[in-house]
Amino acid sequence: MMRQLRAAGGSILASTALAAGVYAAESTPATGSVRAALAELRLPDLDGRIVALSSVLDRGPVVLDFWATWCKPCLAAIPELNALYEDLGPEGLQVIGINEDGQRNAAKVKPFVRAQGIRFPVLLDLNRAAQSRLNATALPTTLLLDREGNVVHTSFGYRPGEVAQLRAKIVTLLAEKPAE
Amino acid sequence: MRLHEAFLISILGAGMAAVWPAPGRAQLAMSNFLEARVGRDPEDTLADPSRFSRFDQLNADYSRDALRIGFRFEGYLPSDRPDLDYARFVRRYAGWTTPRFNALVGNYEAIFGRGLVLRAFELPGIVREEQETPQFGDSRDLDGVRLEVHGDRWTVLALQGAPRRADEDPRVERRLGSVAGTTAGFEVAEGVHAGANYLRIDTRSMEPGATREVAGSFLQLALEPWLQRLGVPKLVLDTYLEYDRVTGLTGTRSPNAPAGEGYGLYGSQTVFLDEVWPGLRGGLTWEYKDYQNFELGVNEPPTLVREHGFALLNRSTHVLLPGQEEGYQLEARFDYRNRVGLVANSSRAENARSLRFEERYVELSGHWRGASVTLFADEQEDRFESIGDRDTFGGSLLVPFRGVHSVEFQAETQESEIVAGTLRARYGDRYWSLTYGWAGRLSLAAVRQTTNDPDEIEDPRRRRAYDALTARMPFGGHHEVLATWGRRRGGLACVAGTCYKVRSFDGVAAQLTSRF
């Protein structure tokens, strides 16, 4: 019992320490935001150009889709993500595919993207920094971020019809006016 | 690092956040991964079958303006092994980011080029466990300082840190030696990127007096924009080339490199046409590797062996030996109007000791109104693992219905022949799964795997079965529960280019993943 209390106590102490600091700094911190994590992340696109992820919030809400070429559920989600990007992209939605094949399959990602007809931008997370910093613990993981970088929705794995369900939340976000 | 030290750092970090005079709004992101299990490894007959264990990872990330601090607190608590119990900070960092500059102190990831020289990373969501270890998160990060400066067309990354050994759990000291180095890359012209690496590896704690130095360069060409200007549209022509040389080695694994030296050479070439024929897209990717005395301890160069999502193929793959290996991979991919796809892959890895891995794989898939069918055939020879011949066939069928419901069936069969001296033995593996999915609500799966692999059973006439039921349920928009009841097969598993060992388990497990 003492060991269990000690183990649980560690987590509680750590959380309390951080929470105390946050509370002292500001009584109402924004929670669930990954804006700072995005600011630190710079990933290459399929042509080797480095893209700062902080720039993805410039236009509007963002769907970040963590995927890999060998991940079958990830591939099943592609048609729905393509449709989302084509329908709501003109309204301000951004869809960014973050590829988690690592360096093992990096050379094969671009032909894969072209063969599958993926229309949204894809970035290579060669050292899995984005997956780690954004805590995308499964593939696929889909994050919906609002303009402030708050994670409005998280989904792990994919079942047909799920991206369509996400659409309603995106439409709501698109209808919101940007904060001054 | 001791618990009280980590706690002090956390307090200091939180204190810094509290007094920081930045005008920006504070932001806090947290996530948690909890796994509770009742059961044991069926091979571990001494363990209590009703053993209870709990593994937990708590991540916290606080930011205000350009400052960012965070930690991961990890713990494991088994009911019957106090010696495996731990609870400590396994990751902590403080960073400062501006549009042109990023500095970070603590634990971090990094990569030079394509990872030939350095690749520090972790596998989020992967929980490791060996025979005499607790459960622990898989992390191969660096602990030290990382500085990155960049302009519109160039980047310079400099770092110093202590690497973590991935197979050791947090109870033991996991940092051995240190690395320091820099990598710089710049865009020479549109689609032309070049760069150079330098890394100094101090391994004194492992090999007295040993210091290795690695230097090299890389070139990436993406010539599509130039081809378009030349009137050749829809053609992808990509090249990547990297060569790095290591000196200061004390031992040798390769007869192909001078004593005390080694090198890594990696090249890839892609040719892809957006319209081979009306509606038909396709092309080729060719990769070559030559690694001699290139096992640096902090690198993970490309393996050039296809990674598979199918269960039996995923576990029967080749694990790279960067100490000495040469080989290639060729992959052709074609797609017709997003309806029919064809993939053909051939790979080969060879070692100077006449060990060889060869694989040929072909996959045909069809897609129609959300439904998809995939069929594959695979042939392998793996002399590294004494497999003379291995043939695998299988496929999957996914059928959605009523918009949000779906059923998926997957089946695989694999026959292997062991060749060790004069010994020859055959065994077979079977796998099938049936999954029902209800979008946004839940998915239920039944999985059956059987084998008569002599590594796992004594009587080859009998088969061992691994049956399991799993249920996955998201809730609240940020949480998910995954429950498993049954047997999990141990062995090799590969995810996102990295392979690791999974331990067998028989019992009930529940995972809760949360973001808040």
Distance from CA of A23 to the nearest CA of B (A): 8
A80-99 residues touching B, CB cutoff 8 A: none
Does the beta-carbon distance from A40 to B95 stay under 8 Å? yes
* Cβ-nearest to A102 among B97, B283, B496: B496
What order of strands is seen across the sheet that includes strand B119-128?
B110-111, B119-128, B136-140
A1 shares contact with chain B (CB less than 8 Å): no
CA distance B34 to B36: 7
Find, among A63, A143, A67, A154, the residue nearest to B514 by Cα.
A154
A147-176 residues touching B, CB cutoff 8 A: 149, 151-157, 159-162, 164-165
CA distance B395 to A72: 12
Answer yes or no: is B15 within a domain.
Answer: no
Answer yes or no: is A109 within a domain.
Answer: yes
Considering B271, B302, B333, which residue would you say is the last residue of a domain? B302
Q: What is the pLDDT of residue A12?
A: 46
What percent of chain A clears pLDDT 70, i.e. is strictly above it?
80
Verify that A14 and A55 share a domain, yes or no: no
Does the beta-carbon distance from B281 to A29 stay under 8 Å? no
Q: What is the pLDDT of residue B205?
A: 59
A–B: how many Cβ contacts below 8 A? 309
Answer yes or no: is A180 within a domain.
Answer: no
Distance from CA of A87 to the nearest CA of B (A): 18
CA distance B121 to B495: 13
Q: What is the pLDDT of residue B148?
A: 96
Verify that A78 and A155 share a domain, yes or no: yes
Considering B241, B271, B302, which residue would you say is the last residue of a domain? B302
ipTM: 0.90
Read off the amino acid at residue B403: G
Does the beta-carbon distance from B61 to A70 stay under 8 Å? no
* Cβ-nearest to A162 among B10, B14, B440: B440
Distance from CA of A83 to the nearest CA of B (A): 13
**Residues in contact with A98: Cβ distance below 8 Å, sequence separation at least 6, in sequence order:** A43, A64, A65, A66, A67, A122, A123, A125, A130, A131, A136
Helices (H), B235-306: none
Answer yes or no: is B491 within a domain.
Answer: yes
Q: Which two structure tokens, joined as six digits, stand for B82? A: 């106090």
Q: Which two structure tokens, joined as six digits, stand for A21? A: 């600091």
- Residues from chain A contacting residue B13 (CB–CB below 8 Å): 18, 21
**Helical (H) or strand (E) element with B221:** strand B211-222
Q: If you measure CA to CA, which chain A residue comes closest to B303? A: A104
Verify that A45 and A64 share a domain, yes or no: yes
Verify that A40 and A1 share a domain, yes or no: no
Verify that A98 and A171 share a domain, yes or no: yes
CA distance A113 to A109: 6
Q: What is the pLDDT of residue B398?
A: 96
CA distance B150 to A50: 10
Read off the amino acid at residue B289: K
Verify that B282 and B377 share a domain, yes or no: no
pTM of the predicted model as reported, rounded to 2 decimal places: 0.89
Answer yes or no: is A95 within a domain.
Answer: yes
Verify that A18 and A100 share a domain, yes or no: no
Tell me chain B's radius of gyration from C-alpha atoms: 25
User: Angle at which helices A72-88 and A162-175 pack, to 10 degrees?
Assistant: 30
Q: Are B457 and B451 in contact (CB under 8 A)?
A: yes
Which of A43, A109, A132, A143 should be substituted to probe chain B, the one whose Cβ sees the most B Cβ atoms within 10 Å? Answer: A132
- Residues from chain A contacting residue B331 (CB–CB below 8 Å): 108, 111
Which of B101, B121, B364, B516 should be substituted to probe chain A, the one whose Cβ sees the most A Cβ atoms within 10 Å? Answer: B121
Answer yes or no: is A21 within a domain.
Answer: yes
Answer yes or no: is B310 within a domain.
Answer: no
Q: What is the pLDDT of residue B132?
A: 85
Q: Are B302 and B114 in contact (CB under 8 A)?
A: yes
Q: Which two structure tokens, joined as six digits, stand for A122? A: 């894809």
A105 shares contact with chain B (CB less than 8 Å): yes
Verify that A51 and A118 share a domain, yes or no: yes
Q: Nearest 5°: phi and psi at B227?
A: -65, -35
CA distance B108 to B102: 12
- Residues from chain B contacting residue A22 (CB–CB below 8 Å): 14, 17-18, 26, 28, 62
Q: Which two structure tokens, joined as six digits, stand for B146? A: 């990382």
Verify that B410 and B297 share a domain, yes or no: no
B228: domain range? 99-302
Q: If you measure CA to CA, which chain B residue comes closest to A13? A: B7
Verify that A18 and A39 share a domain, yes or no: no
Verify that A131 and A101 share a domain, yes or no: yes
Which of B8, B58, B63, B244 should be substituted to probe chain A, the one whose Cβ sees the most A Cβ atoms within 10 Å? Answer: B63
Residue A41's alpha-carbon distances to A98, B39, B182, B192, in angstroms, are: 12, 40, 18, 22
A179 shares contact with chain B (CB less than 8 Å): no
- Residues from chain A contacting residue B14 (CB–CB below 8 Å): 17-22, 24
Verify that B367 and B495 share a domain, yes or no: yes
Which of A16, A82, A104 should be substituted to probe chain B, the one whose Cβ sees the most B Cβ atoms within 10 Å? Answer: A104
Find, among B425, B433, B420, the residue nearest to B489 by Cα.
B433
pLDDT band at A4 (very low <50, low <70, confident <90, very high): very low
Verify that B510 and B441 share a domain, yes or no: yes
Read off the amino acid at residue B4: H
B278 preceded by a cis bond (ω within 30 of 0): no
Q: A106-120 pLDDT, tens per residue?
A: 999 999 999 999 999
- How wide is the angle at C-alpha B189 spanned by C-alphas B269 and B239, nearest 5°? 5
Verify that B254 and B108 share a domain, yes or no: yes
Q: What is the pLDDT of residue A2?
A: 52
Answer yes or no: is B179 within a domain.
Answer: yes
pLDDT one digit per residue (tens) for chain B, 516 residues:
444 444 445 544 554 444 444 445 788 889 999 999 999 998 888 888 899 999 999 999 998 888 999 999 999 999 988 999 999 999 999 999 998 999 999 999 999 999 999 999 999 889 999 888 899 999 899 999 999 999 989 999 999 999 987 778 888 866 778 999 999 999 999 999 999 999 999 876 566 557 899 999 999 999 998 999 998 888 999 999 999 999 988 777 777 788 889 999 999 999 999 988 899 999 999 999 999 999 888 888 999 999 999 999 999 999 898 889 999 999 999 999 999 999 999 999 998 777 899 999 999 999 998 899 999 999 999 998 899 999 999 999 999 999 899 999 999 999 999 998 888 999 999 999 999 999 989 999 999 999 999 988 888 788 999 999 999 999 988 899 999 999 999 999 988 778 899 999 999 999 999 987
Verify that A24 and A48 share a domain, yes or no: no
Which of A159, A163, A165, A180 should be substituted to probe chain B, the one whose Cβ sees the most B Cβ atoms within 10 Å? Answer: A159
Q: What is the pLDDT of residue A18?
A: 43
Answer yes or no: is B107 within a domain.
Answer: yes
Q: If you measure CA to CA, which chain B residue comes closest to A158? A: B439
Does the beta-carbon distance from B155 to A13 stay under 8 Å? no
Q: Are B344 and B361 in contact (CB under 8 A)?
A: yes
Beta bridge partner(s), residue A156: A141
Verify that B278 and B369 share a domain, yes or no: no
Answer yes or no: is A11 within a domain.
Answer: yes
Our count of domains for chain A comes to 2
Answer yes or no: is A117 within a domain.
Answer: yes
- Residues from chain A contacting residue B477 (CB–CB below 8 Å): 152-154
Read off the amino acid at residue B434: L
Verify that A83 and A152 share a domain, yes or no: yes
Does the beta-carbon distance from B497 to A7 stay under 8 Å? no
User: Angle at which helices B3-19 and A2-25 pack, to 10 degrees?
Assistant: 20
* Cβ-nearest to A114 among B109, B119, B281: B281
* Cβ-nearest to B341 among A11, A42, A115: A115
Tell me chain A's radius of gyration from C-alpha atoms: 18
Verify that B290 and B410 share a domain, yes or no: no
Does the beta-carbon distance from B404 to A161 stay under 8 Å? yes
Q: What is the pLDDT of residue B13?
A: 52
Verify that A89 and A75 share a domain, yes or no: yes
Which residue, chain included where needed, has tokens 């088969």? B463
CATH number at residue A125: 3.40.30.10
**Residues in contact with B192: Cβ distance below 8 Å, sequence separation at least 6, in sequence order:** B219, B220, B221, B222
Q: Are A41 and B33 in contact (CB under 8 A)?
A: no
A53: domain range? 32-175
Verify that B363 and B297 share a domain, yes or no: no
Our count of domains for chain B comes to 2
- The beta-carbon contacts of B198-207 under 8 Å, at least 24 apart in sequence, are B199/B112, B199/B117, B199/B118, B199/B296, B199/B298, B201/B177, B201/B296, B201/B297, B201/B298, B202/B177, B202/B178, B203/B176, B203/B177, B203/B297, B204/B177, B205/B176, B205/B177, B206/B176, B206/B177, B207/B250
- Residues from chain B contacting residue A71 (CB–CB below 8 Å): 309
Find, among A145, A97, A144, A143, the residue nearest to A123 by Cα.
A97
Answer yes or no: is B19 within a domain.
Answer: no
Does the beta-carbon distance from A21 to B62 stay under 8 Å? yes
B398: three-class secondary structure by DSSP = strand
